[in-house]
Amino acid sequence: ASTMDHLWYCSNCSLGNATLDNQTLQANQSSVIKRNEDLAKVEVAVLCLIFFLALTGNLCVLLAIYTTRHKHSRMYFFMKHLSIADLVVALFQVLPQLIWDITFRFNGPDYLCRLIKYLQVVGMFASTYMLLLMSLDRCLAICQPLRSLHRRSDRLSVLLTWVVCLLFSIPQLQIFSMKSVAHGGMDCWATFIQPWGPRAYVTWMTLTVYIIPVIVLSICYGLISFKIWQNVKLKTVHETSVSLTSSNSHGGTLSRVSSIKLISKAKIRTVKMTFIIVLAFIMCWTPYFIVQMWLAWDENAPKEDWTFIITMLLASLNSCCNPWIYMLFTGHLFHDLLHRFLCCSSR
């Protein structure tokens, strides 16, 4: 998941008679807005790389899942929708931000300004909540392995998640619009009627996109860790008792223990994968939200370009790192995709 400096805690936010900025804007809209051109060039170069990796990586994941024989498994189903969410991030967050950084101003009509702002936050919510849904699924799979779930319930949960993301993003349509800026120019700005508006907005986004999901994810993996520890302890006791039985019963019981072990290893592998994805999410987003909350609540916070841009780019990396994590834990997917590609090209 990623967000940008023009996304929700924007660089251009008019607050009635005051202006909240994080890119060294002056105290009123009529002042000349400048930027560090060298820093902007670095930002454009990094965003180009992030966009390329996010687009190609997630397209490869979707193609690999589509071509595999096990594409209807529940884990692949959630992986597919997380990759779709990351593609939304690449196409509607990273790409617009890249174009915006090149042009410096938003060159488009008002409806396009509102639409892009809306889709940017849809992608941010979707990538976070799909990861949350995947982790909840792994938690239930480990803690309640005998539960009966149908394909329909998985589809319903994903559908509801997308609906929630679309609904939570609606405020963007009202907050952002084309506004007059310095020297008669126009730009896509966020307008808040009340002085406390930006703080409420940034706090709401931080809670719904970062703090609450991280709390739920921590609970999930706490329960998973406890259940796995219980499982290992029970297996140790069971294998000790098996070793004391007769050779005939030993053979039958050992085969059952081995089969249970294999199933547990398969589940634990998917748990490890989702845990690494969660860890990457936290590492990429934590600095960004710390900076956002600091800027929103501390009037004396330093408003340095490079501090904000570095944390923004780090958050953007989250949209392109998930495919590499998939490759690490489900390498056979990409091996099968490469094999099919080579077979088709040789014909």
**φ, ψ for residue 186, nearest 5 deg:** -125, 145
Q: Is the pLDDT of residue 346 over 80?
A: no
Rounded to an integer, the average pLDDT of 205-225 is 93
User: Which of 137-151, 183-197, 236-250 has the least mean pLDDT?
Assistant: 236-250
pLDDT at 23: 35
Strand order across the beta sheet in which 13-15 lies? 18-20, 13-15, 186-191, 176-180
User: Which of 35-49, 202-216, 268-282 has the least mean pLDDT?
Assistant: 35-49
What is the residue-averaged pLDDT of the chain?
Answer: 78
Q: Is the pLDDT of residue 12 over 60?
A: no
pLDDT at 3: 37
pLDDT at 258: 45
Whole-angstrom Cα distance, residue 301 to residue 315?
20
Q: Which of 108, 120, 100 is nearest to 40 (CA)?
A: 100
Burial 117-130 (b: 16+ CB within 10 A, else e): bbbbbbbbbbbbbb
pLDDT at 227: 83
pLDDT band at 82 (very low <50, low <70, confident <90, very high): very high
Instruction: Spell out the domains of the chain, with CATH numbers in brackets.
Output: 37-238+262-340 (1.20.1070.10)
The structure's pTM equals 0.80
**DSSP per residue over 25-53, as a string?**
--SSTTSPP---HHHHHHHHHHHHHHHHH
Q: Is the pLDDT of residue 297 over 80?
A: yes
**pLDDT tens digits, 93-149:** 899 888 988 888 888 899 999 999 999 999 999 999 999 999 998 888 888 776 655
